[in-house]
Amino acid sequence: MSLRKAIGGSMELGECTMNPGYQGAEGGVSAADPGEKNQDLAEDYTQIKPYAGMPKEVLLLYSSQARYRVPREILFWLIVACTLALVALTVTVIALSPRCLSWWQASPVYQVYPRSFRDSDGDGVGDLKGIQEQLHHFEYLNIKSVWISPFYRSPMKDFGYDVEDFRAIDPLFGTMHDFEELLAEMHNKGLKLIMDFIPNHTSDRHRWFNLSRTGDTHYKDYYVWTDCNATAPKPNNWVSIFGNSSWTYDDLRGQCYLHQFLKEQPDLNFRNPHVRQEIIDIIHFWLGKGVDGFRMDAVKHILEAEHLRDEPQVDPKQPPEDVTTEWELYHDYTTSQLGLHDMLREWRAEMDIYSREPGRYRFMVTESYDYHEVEKTMMYYGTPQVKESDFPFNFYLLDLPQNPSGMWVKHLVHLWMGNMPKGQWPNWVVGNHDRSRIASSAGQIYVRVINMLLLTLPGTPTTYYGEEIGMENINVTDSQIQDPAGKYNSSASRDPQRSPMQWSDDINAGFNTKSNITWLPVHPDYSSVNVEVQKKEPGSVLAQYRFLSTLRQSELPLHRGWFCYVHADANVFSYLRELEGLGRAFLMVLNFGKESAITDLSSIRELPDQLKVLMSTNQVNSGKVLQKSHIPTEVGEGLLIQYSTHTRFNPTHPDQCYVSEKACYLSAMDILYKC
């Protein structure tokens, strides 16, 4: 029916539908049966299409029709199926994905010797503010991990390795506020700080030692004491790393104390549970400050045999009174004692408490020179069940200068790779504050190829400050010697490799621009060998280091792919880096010999016949196309060759190849997966 009504004008209403639940005034309202209501509505309602503002009853009428209901149900179940598929895919990807590399794996570690890095206040000694001023240098080199040698309060008898207070900064380097500012700025730039930690000993000025000397009840056994007197022979034949007896008589206590290093560095007694707790408390102190990891110093010396017996002589015929150096004894009772690894695992567990915060893994590396006893070094990795250090420092490449040749380098590399526990992460060191700079010991001609080796081997490389520009040792006269070891024996001085960093050709090589003082002489070649000059030269040692560091991070085969030996002879060491599923791989051909060489790799069928040099340490050879049967290299030249292939070397040569964690690349999704 139609209704017309005027409201301040006229308005026409369209046709209406009947409400079957409504009756006239006489009958009132009845609660009609829903079924009847919809039936009546269906009979009376003749509108063909849904319309905006339709009542609920009409909406329900349309929604029950097959042409609307079926698509709706199909869409619903399709969404459910897609959701389940997405969840299943996510779970599968997570389950199949290899572990992401941690920060200590993704970047080289750069060692800063703070006395020599940068002097901010003009006193001739580097400091924490000086390091902060040069943080951009690490960013330039694409380095994320920085290890800083000791800056604790110390009398400096061993330049910070004799700690007077583990919770204080030595004024020579700055204040605790300076440290906190440095750490905050490093974290702002995405850099990680690794501290040197010296658990084996303290300074003889440490409060603990002074209390122990007086026989204080609590501190009496904080150090290793034994009966002796000033005139009688020492308790046994143990000798110090620096030479002569490891025992010194203390007049105040009337006993001898043990020191495996200087007499000013008394050894702590780790068989005392209070000492162990003190060290754990110190670890917590610095982790609470926010440091990202520790380099644990001289760990093999931490425990000594309680029986204090004489150690066996290397030469039994040598008169005992003539034994004065560490090389004349087998250190069966002063190193790597039972219980050492339990203690290190305990420290690791404490550090793991702080690693639970996302992105804040706390790193631990151990230092132990075990020389030919490589199996002892490998024990610091821990076991499959109990973790210890993330890796022990690998010092075997320090011996590279003894016999520069391809075969020798392969031998040194294989010492680690062939003994490393399955699934562990390797690392490489070619220099540090205790050893001659590689540019001096091996020769300047090998600096570039050694850097190429360091940055293309699997694992984490460690760079000692100045190696990125090829710094050499300085000459130090007897009157200039600062190192305690050098004062005992001038030929053992470590000063030559600790000279000030060469930043520019400015005064003092840019190390100290506020005065004409440096704690050690600057190398005379600083005007040509410095960071500022080499930044401007595309073929410089610095430019090549930076290129390789960046390439290592960006290329999957280089930072987590297979490592395979392919060739070694008197001159050349060659290896592959490849990753399953990736269409490119890298070949390194490195000449460590004493003459030019032609390398024939035609027997390696997995290599294409033609190879293009991505980078040569001799810049003129970069970009050249070579035949795999004829690859020429000059003395000290390294070639980094990138090639395309889908044929892998590692499946058919398993005894020549190593990988820490196997992964494959799926190009369709641009992801890695376990394979």
- Give the active site residues: 297, 367
Alpha-carbon distances, residue 274 vs 346, 353, 357, 556 (angstroms): 14, 21, 29, 47
Give the number of residues written for the chain.
675
Distances (CA, A) of 327 to 323, 371, 399, 600: 9, 12, 17, 43
Question: Whose structure tokens read 């003190």?
Answer: 278
All residues at 6 or more sequence positions from 573 whose CB lies less than 8 Å from its CB, including other chains:
406, 407, 409, 410, 413, 453, 567, 590, 592
Q: Could you give the CA distance from residue 663 to residue 43 in angstroms, rounded to a whole number?
A: 69
Query: d(Cα 88, Cα 90) in Å, to the nearest integer?
Result: 5
- DSSP-H helix ranges across 384-478: 406-417, 438-441, 447-456
Interatomic CA distance for residues 175 and 129, integer angstroms: 10
Q: Tell me how far apart the alpha carbons of residues 345 and 331 are, in angstroms, rounded to a whole number.
A: 23
CA distance 359 to 559: 19
Tell me which amino acid residue 440 is.
Answer: S
446 touches 430 (CB < 8 A): no
Place of tokens 């190879």: 611
Beta 363-366 vs 391-392: how paired, if at all?
Answer: parallel
Burial class (CB in 10 A: 0-12, 13-18, 19+), 612: middle
Q: How far is CA 125 from CA 130, 159, 465, 501, 582, in A?
A: 10, 11, 15, 11, 49
Largest CA distance in the chain: 133
Name the token pair of 167: 């919770």
- Three-state secondary structure along 84-136? HHHHHHHHHHHHHCCCCCCHHHHCCEEEECHHHHCCCCCCCCCCHHHHHHCHH
| Residue 315 burial (CB count, 10 A) | 10
Residue from 541, 550, 538 nearest 471 by CA: 541
Q: Are 392 and 411 in contact (CB under 8 A)?
A: no
Give the tokens for residue 140. Answer: 């330039």
Mode of pairing for the β-strands spanning 255-258 and 225-226 = antiparallel
Q: Are 144 and 106 in contact (CB under 8 A)?
A: yes
